Amino acid sequence: MPNLTYRCLFISILCLLPALCFAQKVYDGQVIDKATEDPIPGVNVTLIKEKIGTQTNKRGYFELSSEQSLPEDTLKFSSVGYKTLKLPVSAYQPQIFITLEASSTQLNEVRIANKKKRKDIVLDKFGWYDLKDFQGVGNGHSTEAVKSQTALAKFFTAPNANAKLLKVSLGRMDLLSAPTYAVRNKLTTFLIHIMSQDAVTGAPGKIIFTKTVSLNDNSLWVDIDFTNDKFVIPAKNFFIAVEWIINPYNEIIGVNKAPKVAKTTKHGYQVIKDASEYYVCYQPFLIGYNPEDDTRKRALLYIRNNNKWQIFQHQRSELALSATIHY
C-alpha cells in the first residue's frame, strides 16, 4: 500500500510539471541610453508586485524569471543618473529594447563625452529601432550561409586610411519568436575578421586581423570592443567578415512540419499527414533590416563558398553590421 501511495504521488507530480513549467514567465531585453544608444550596465530591473529583480550585464542585457507571472505586475528600470521607467508586463514584448533618459547631471556628462569623441565615426550605422521590430527569420543570413558556406563579409569605406578600429557592432537574433526552431541556445562563439580588398576583383582579400567572440546571453545588439587591440586599418576600403564555427556548441535544433506517407490503402492511395522534421542550424543568426532611407545604397556583401568569395546574390536588406573608427 505505501508503494502504491508513493507511485500515485510520483505520477501526480509528473502531471503537474508541465503546468509548473508553463506558469514560469521569462522577461528579457536590453537597456540602452536614449541619447547615445549605448548599453547601460548595472540597471536594476524589478518586478514590483512579485518583489524579484536582477541587473543588466555589460551589454545592457537582462533576463528575469517570474514564478508567479502576475498579469497586473510592473517592470521597473532604475539606475543612478537616469530617470526611472515603469513598464506594465501587459506591454512587454520578448527581447524588448528599453531606452532610459539621462537625468540633467548625466546629460551634461554625456554632452561633454560626445565633444571629446567628435573624431569617432560610425560606418553603416544602424539603431535599436532597426532591430526592435524584427520579426521572423526571412531576413536572417545565418541559415543560408552555413548550409554550404562558412563566412559572410561586408564592404566598408572609411574617409581616410590608417583609422583606428574601436568597435564592431552587429544585430543578432536568437529565434525566440520563430516557431520553426525547437530549442534556444544563447551560447555562441564565432570569428570576426578584418580583411583587405583585393585590388583586382574587389572581393575580400587577405585577413589582416582576427578576433574570437563568445556570447552567453540573448542580446540582439552586440558591441565587440577593439580598443585594447590597438588595431589600425591600413586602407580606406576594407571588409569585416563573420565566420561561423561549425560545432555542437553553436547548434540550434530546428523543427519543421513535412508531409509523410502515413499509410497506403488497398487501392494504392497514399494517406499523407504532417510529421516533424528536425535539422541543425548554427549561430550567430545575423539580422538584415530595411533602412528608413530607401534610397540608401546597400553595402556589398560577399559570401565564401569552397574557399572562394562570391557576391551574395540573396541580399535583400542591409546587414546589421557597423564599424566605429577613430582618427
- Does residue 203 register a pLDDT over 70? yes
Residue 84 shares a structural domain with residue 200? no
Res. 317 pLDDT band, cuts 50 70 90 = confident
**Is it true that the peptide bond before 284 is cis, omega within 30 degrees of 0?**
yes
pTM over 0.85: no
Q: In the chain, count of helices (H) and strands (E)?
A: 4, 23
Q: What is the pLDDT of residue 313?
A: 73
Give the range of the structural domain holding residue 48, as residue numbers without chain letter. Answer: 2-109
> Given a cut of 90, is residue 45 above it in pLDDT?
yes
pLDDT value, residue 180: 54
What's the burial of 71, exposed, middle or buried (CB within 10 Å: 0-12/13-18/19+)? exposed
pLDDT for 326 beyond 60: yes
User: What residue type is assigned to position 46 of the chain?
Assistant: T
pLDDT score, position 135 = 45
Return the sign of the alpha-carbon dihedral for residues 95, 97, 103, 108. positive
pLDDT interval class at 298 (50, 70, 90): confident
Q: What cell numbers appear for 308 in the block? A: 572562394
- Do residues 29 and 62 make contact, with C-beta atoms less than 8 angstroms apart? yes
**Residue finishing a domain among 109, 140, 164:** 109
Q: Which of 86, 109, 132 delimits the end of a domain?
A: 109
Q: Which long-range contacts (CB under 8 A, 24 or more apart) does 204-213 make?
A: 204/153, 204/239, 204/241, 204/302, 204/304, 204/309, 205/239, 207/241, 208/234, 209/165, 213/189
pLDDT at 282: 82
Q: Kindly state whether residues 310 and 172 are assigned to the same domain.
A: yes
Interval 131-169: pLDDT, tens: 875 544 445 555 445 544 589 999 999 999 999 999 999
| pLDDT value of residue 123 | 96
267 domain-assigned: no
CA 54 to chain centre: 21
| 93 and 231 within one domain | no
Q: Is the pLDDT of residue 74 over 70?
A: yes
